[in-house]
Structure 1
């Protein structure tokens, strides 16, 4: 998949070298009723090195908690709301060291133009999955799910009756590798692996006494 993406990127660069015709060829207009924006959280219990998945009994699949953004709602608020509604667990933001193509604020750039920024953040999506929306009655509706890292407590008592009437979801905690293996869709496996890798590389103590971020030396 990475090779295909790289080939597509090279092809796009070659087209752009031809001028604005290449931009015009790549640019597509998609009306708001033909795309879905969703968001979710990969929740990690740091002290116990566990992550939270949901079992969709009707479809027989394991997934990362996620759902559609409401009108007027920010992406990160949607991610945490949907995670709570689908699992009953209240979770917190988790800072990670990450690379992003979101722009650095002008007053923080120090006069430099940065295409890919390296930041410590708890409010930026760290991965996204895009696919045709299976819930839509109309073909060709594309869905993009933005995933955020979050911390939670597997030993806490979760709230009940938080799901919508049509949802029959069962939340369950798993060790990291087991969680990745259980996820049904390959793209979500990749998203989970990326988020866990970022958490591990950001100095968070996994399986420690309190899951606090390790001190830098």
Structure 2
């Protein structure tokens, strides 16, 4: 397996502060969207040398309700699997590869009901709220560098990470030696949600908590719909249709 540098960016984006974000607040020209996001950033343009793209995953084991973290046993740190996109690789491929390399588990995407702004497919133009999607849940952006290479200074750039939801089955088995040479101390570990939140950085705990709540919401919606489809009584079908409307509102409200 070829060596790829896993050097991390030198700064970390901050998690949103709910006390300063609401639909109408502004501060020094900054607009705030939902309480799940930090404020707006200036319109920007980055040349190819001045940015990097990466991907990360929030991984759930639906059968147990546990979540998957990376434990760096050498540094005693815990984090979500993540890394930089390779040349010719899609962000989705990057997310799955990094999850496998850093945790040792083979991960699949976890479709969720999300209030995504991505358009619905042409075949179902009115179904944006009714489709489970595997779109990124979050994007973070922060500076990296500068670095010195001998007499040359690399000014660094902007690192943008796309976060996806993933899942592993009940019988998932962790494989050994799946990562890069500098990842030999990485161990994928399944934890209860509260334990995971206490170990993650504030930003990653925020991302984990929101993603997990959308997974729980998705499970509830699917259970209601399956219950409605299995009951053939007309009055029950009317209740099921009303439940679909309530489910749509929940998808919006979990923002």
Alignment-derived partner of residue 161 in structure 1? 177
Q: 1:47 to 1:107 in 2, by over 3 A?
A: closer
How far is the alpha carbon of 1:171 from its aligned partner? 1.3
Alignment-derived partner of residue 29 in structure 2? 11
Q: 1:12 to 1:182 in 2, by over 3 A?
A: closer
Q: Does 1:87 align with 2:103?
A: yes
Q: Does 1:129 align with 2:140?
A: yes
Distance in 1 between residues matched to 2:171 and 2:190, nearest whole Å? 10
Alignment of 1:42-121 (within 5 A): 42-106=58-122, 108-109=124-125, 118=129, 120-121=131-132
Q: 1:66 to 1:26 in 2, by over 3 A?
A: closer
Higher RCO (Cα < 8 Å, 6 or more apart): 1
Alignment-derived partner of residue 192 in structure 1? 208
Structure 1's unaligned 5+ residue stretches are: 14-24, 111-116, 206-212
Larger radius of gyration between Structure 1 and Structure 2: 2
Q: Is the 8 A contact 2:109 2:167 kept in 1?
A: yes
The number of residue pairs the alignment matches comes to 193
- CA-to-aligned-CA distance 1:125-166 (integer Å, 9 cap, x gap): 112222233796645522222111111136532221111011
Q: 1:76 to 1:135 in 2, by over 3 A?
A: farther
How far is the alpha carbon of 1:95 from its aligned partner? 1.5
Q: Does 1:173 align with 2:184?
A: no
- CA-to-aligned-CA distance 1:33-71 (integer Å, 9 cap, x gap): 222211122111111111000012344321011111111
How far is the alpha carbon of 1:118 from its aligned partner? 3.2
Q: Is the 8 A contact 1:36 1:133 kept in 2?
A: no
Alignment-derived partner of residue 28 in structure 1? 44
Distance in 2 between residues matched to 1:27 and 1:109, nearest whole Å? 30
Q: 1:155 to 1:10 in 2, by over 3 A?
A: farther
Distance in 1 between residues matched to 2:72 and 2:51, nearest whole Å? 23
SS in 2 for 1:149: strand
Distance in 1 between residues matched to 2:53 and 2:187, nearest whole Å? 23
Q: 1:4 to 1:133 in 2, by over 3 A?
A: farther
Distance in 2 between residues matched to 1:101 and 1:91, nearest whole Å? 25
Structure 2's unaligned 5+ residue stretches are: 1-16, 32-40, 149-153, 229-255
How far is the alpha carbon of 1:11 from its aligned partner? 3.5
Alignment-derived partner of residue 17 in structure 1? none
How far is the alpha carbon of 1:12 from its aligned partner? 5.7
SS in 2 for 1:189: helix
